[in-house]
Amino acid sequence: MSTTASPESTVLVALDNDRLPSARPPSSPLPLIELVHGEIDAFLVERYHKWDHAPWILIVEEDGGRFTDPAGGNLGDQGGGLYSNAGLHDHLLSALRYPLHP
């Protein structure tokens, strides 16, 4: 997991998200591996199914990261969410005005 603590230097990757023009698209087919390896700081994805997210939520949280779904919880059945390192997570939630549906 990355140790970046400054929102200004965050490497944010977003998948199919038009509201974040500063986010880059994933450079690999599995951007959450990049997150766990510390190559990126955050990943925002707002699609897929709960079976896609369930294992990644566990892996990211076990590695010291955090996950927030669009409803403000940490469930995999909300269609996606924000994955990031724990030091950045609250800053990113605020900057992105996330969750979308508090």
Residue 102 CA to residue 63 CA, distance in Å, equals: 26
| Residue 12 scores a pLDDT above 90 | no
CATH number of the domain that 24 lies in?
A: 3.40.190.80
Q: Average of pLDDT values for 43-69? A: 87
Q: What is the pLDDT of residue 64?
A: 93
102 located within any domain: no
Whole-model pTM? 0.82
20 located within any domain: yes
Total domain count, the chain: 1
Residue 5 CA to residue 43 CA, distance in Å, equals: 15
101 located within any domain: no
Residue 31 CA to residue 24 CA, distance in Å, equals: 11
Q: Average of pLDDT values for 54-76? A: 90
- Give the pLDDT band (50/70/90) at residue 65: very high
Name the token pair of 22. 């500063």
